[in-house]
Amino acid sequence: MIDIQPLGSSSAGNAYRVTDGQTALLLEAGLRYKDIQRALEFRMSDIDACLITHDHGDHSKSAKDVMKAGINIYTGQGTADALGLLGHRLRPVVARQQFTIGTWTILPFEVEHDAAEPLGFLLANQAGDKLLFATDTYYVRYRFSGLTHIMVECNYSMSILRENIAAGRVPAAMKNRLLRSHFSLENVLDFLRANDLQRVQEIWLLHLSDNNSDEELFKREVQALTGKMVRVAER
């Protein structure tokens, strides 16, 4: 059994608590540290480790504070260098080289984003659960089997983005960055079609844009395609 608790999921800050009942992980540290503390009811000692996907502030803002709290951070060396992370609490990881934290076996993998060394994570526990975590990427080159939980960015829809640009609500220059850095609804649907969803219990949609998304539409589209429980992480 995997329990997923979003603490924040937007350009203002991203962080999620994930546990299998034995080992609790913090995925991302993109909120102010005191906000993470508050969301976790000040039980930071219950967190066994923190995984960070990349160096942008909305995913890494409180990384140094998390380390000061005695929690090891696992991230790519490029991300660590970009953030100036040093010390014995830093655990650099390498794409496609798995590691273990408590009851989790974790495989980092490359994603496509405008950051120093962006990664996604595939987390498997001893009970046979398998969680995919992929955020801030416009494409995932890998295919996965046996997934039970999916946490995936669904930042914008091309149709909504085009409407907003045409109406002058969004600068046209933003389109190119989104296309080369974030997962659209259309790409998420393609990604889900390409993967084995037979065992999937729930799909979490993460990091929805404030301007270029539609929560109900995104949820409806993914449910219609997959027939699975779909949740949208609170922004």
- The span from the CA of 32 to the CA of 66, in Å, is 10
pLDDT of residue 235: 63
Domain residue ranges in the chain: 3-232
Query: 53: which DSSP letter?
Result: -
Written as six digits, the tokens of 181 are 């850095």
Q: What is the pLDDT along the chain (235 residues), one digit of tens a residue?
A: 899 999 999 888 999 999 999 999 999 999 999 999 999 999 999 999 999 999 999 999 999 999 999 999 999 999 999 999 999 999 999 999 999 999 999 999 999 887 889 999 999 999 999 999 999 888 899 999 999 999 999 998 988 888 888 888 888 777 777 777 788 999 999 999 999 999 999 999 999 998 888 999 999 999 999 999 999 997 6
Give the residue carrying structure tokens 């494409």. 139
Instruction: Kindly state the tokens that stand for 116.
Output: 């120093």
Name residue 108's amino acid. P
| Helices 215-226 and 185-193, axial angle in degrees (round to 10) | 10
Residue-wise pLDDT for 185-199, tens only, equals 999 999 999 999 999
Place of tokens 């999921």: 9
What architecture is the 3-232 domain classified under in CATH? 4-Layer Sandwich (3.60)
Quick one: pLDDT at residue 133?
A: 98
CA distances in angstroms from 147 to 17, 95, 201, 202, listed in the order given: 18, 19, 9, 10
- What confidence score (pLDDT) does residue 151 get? 98
CB neighbour list of residue 139: distance below 8 Å, 6 or more residues apart: 111, 112, 183, 187
Summarize pLDDT for 52-72 with one digit per residue, the tens: 999 999 999 999 999 999 999
CB contact at 8 A, 75 and 93: yes
Identify the burial level of 81 via C-beta atoms within 10 angstroms of its C-beta, where 0-12 means exposed, 13-18 middle and 19 or more buried.
middle
Tokens representing 178 are 């989104």
As a whole number of angstroms, the distance between CA 197 and CA 39 comes to 31
Helix, strand or coil, per DSSP, at residue 2: coil
Q: Is residue 171 within 8 Å of 120, Cβ to Cβ?
A: no
